Amino acid sequence: GEDPRGALEARISEAKFPFVSANLVDNATGKLPAWPNLHASALVDIAGIKVGVIGAATESTPYTTMPANFKGMSVAPPPKMIVAEAQALRAQGAQVIVVTAHIGSECTDLENPDDVDSCDRKAELFSVIDALPPGTIDVFVAGHTHAAVAHKIDGVATIESLSAGRAFGRVDLRVKAGKVAAATIHPPQLVCPLDKDHNPI
């Protein structure tokens, strides 16, 4: 008779940082689940710059997680929810908007951030960013596919840095007059290199 998500909710409430997910929906209310410390987005001040952070989950979540964990919930299409949160954050003074999402792709050439020819353009990451009006967000921190991305997609600086904390992703932004004036995207840097058999070196 206990809540099957009780342990998860307890860990979220104990965290010293906000959990963000704009497109997770409680089917009973049609809104974000009313869990302590769960938000659609967060507005943080970093060195005097207001940064809005929006969370999102892949639409495949209901099929890629334990059914008991997801009972009574659904995932709304990410673009609509990202746009709504970005507009709200801009209205609160956000100068930079970052999406951090369990949504990804894969690219094999990480040397030229303006060339996406080596990327899987059929992946969900591309369809989500393609659906956003220009200027909606500035940075997209991707995940889910355990691969690498370090590209500008439709003008959005986008990174994905493998999985399990093995690599460090970085985007440098220059903010001028309250807006992002330039972005430099760095390829993921391995923190824990692996040998040919995928064992830590």
Arithmetic mean of pLDDT, 54-81: 92
Closest CA to 78 of 41, 52, 37: 41
Question: Please, which pLDDT band fits residue 62 given cuts at 50, 70 and 90?
Answer: confident
Gap between the Cα atoms of 73 and 96, Å rounded: 30
Question: Please, which pLDDT band fits residue 166 given cuts at 50, 70 and 90?
Answer: confident
Predicted pLDDT at 5: 86
Arithmetic mean of pLDDT, 187-195: 83
Least confident range from 16-20, 73-77, 88-92, 196-200: namely 196-200
- Which residues on neighbouring strands pair with residue 26, listed in sequence order? 31, 73
Predicted pLDDT at 4: 81
